[in-house]
Amino acid sequence: MTSRRVGPVRRSLALSSATVLLLGSTGCFATRGDMRILQGDINTVRSESQRSAQAQAQALAETARILQAVSDSLTRLSSRQLAFEGDARGEFRRVNEQLIQVQQLLGQSASIVRSLRADLEVAGRTPIPPSEATTPPPLATAPTPTRGTTPPATDAAPTPGLPGPNTLYQDGQDHLRRSSYASARIAFGDLLLNYPSSDVAPEAQYLIAESYAAERNLPAAETAYAAVVSKYPESPRAPDAMYKRATIFIDQGNIAAAKPLLESIVKQYPRTDVAEFAKERLASLP
């Protein structure tokens, strides 16, 4: 039993050596019994070699099967991950497109409202024909303010014949569309001078800054953007103006002035879209 545990190669060498010794010791007169024993050992070695080769082949085949199964599993996982990422990107894209559509609709609605208000302002300034004029009711006497109180702040009385704030705003936008930046600033400036507390005043100030930026007059644009924040800090345009100022400073290489502005956006207006842009810009600054 011990001799059968020897490897096939060693067993073959041992048998060959035994054969040579047997033939040498007997003077080439080996008996038939010896030859049968020798032949049986040779057959045993061959069988063991075949079984060993078959076992190795089976082991290799099983290893290949396992590796193929692992590779298939990884391929399926990778396909699922890619499909998930693709679905997620598609869903985000659809959401962004819907948000853009909503913003466009809101912008169109706001533009329509401003246009209607401008039409009403123009209609309110249209002189009434004498035949349709009626005697106006007597003016009520304004109450005398109590000493020590401050009368409520109102817009300064506009120049007679001056268009209303919405009309001036529409005029300024029309000039901007035609790239008539100086004329746009005149319209917006009249609006701010005569109607400083109008709901379109922050937008007018912001568009003045945009007109300077379009002309690449960056110092004037930076000053106009700063006026948006200082005069109308609660306006939705305030964080946009701060970001535009920071961008101007970055373009000029003034990183020390840009960083505080970006940090203020993140701190004061954390829920705005521009706050996310400010975070990304801060991360990219040295």
Q: Can you tell me the distance from the alpha carbon of 136 to that of 144, in angstroms, rounded to the nearest whole number?
A: 23
Q: Is residue 101 part of a domain?
A: yes
Number of domains in the chain: 2
pTM of the predicted model as reported, rounded to 2 decimal places: 0.52
Q: Is residue 149 part of a domain?
A: no
Q: Is residue 136 part of a domain?
A: no
Tokens of 76: 């399926």
Q: Is residue 64 part of a domain?
A: yes
- What pLDDT score was predicted for residue 121? 61
Do 108 and 167 reside in the same domain of the chain?
no
Q: Is residue 182 part of a domain?
A: yes
Q: Which residues of the chain have pLDDT under 50?
A: 1-6, 28, 104-105, 126-154
- What pLDDT score was predicted for residue 285? 94
- What pLDDT score was predicted for residue 94? 65
Do 91 and 175 reside in the same domain of the chain?
no
Do 190 and 101 reside in the same domain of the chain?
no
Do 238 and 168 reside in the same domain of the chain?
yes
- What pLDDT score was predicted for residue 140? 36
pLDDT digits 0-9 by tens, 198-221: 999 999 999 999 999 999 999 999
Q: Which domain holds residue 67?
A: 3-112
Domain boundary among 112, 142, 175: 112
Do 70 and 168 reside in the same domain of the chain?
no
Give CB contacts under 8 A, 24+ apart, made by 208-214. 208/184, 209/241, 209/244, 210/176, 211/176, 211/181, 211/184, 211/185, 212/181, 213/244, 213/248, 214/179, 214/181
Q: Can you tell me the distance from the alpha carbon of 36 to that of 253, in angstroms, rounded to the nearest whole number?
A: 99
Do 169 and 98 reside in the same domain of the chain?
no
pLDDT digits 0-9 by tens, 79-119: 888 777 777 666 756 665 555 555 544 555 555 666 666 66
Q: Is residue 153 part of a domain?
A: no
Q: Is residue 125 part of a domain?
A: no
Q: Is residue 9 part of a domain?
A: yes
Do 174 and 279 reside in the same domain of the chain?
yes
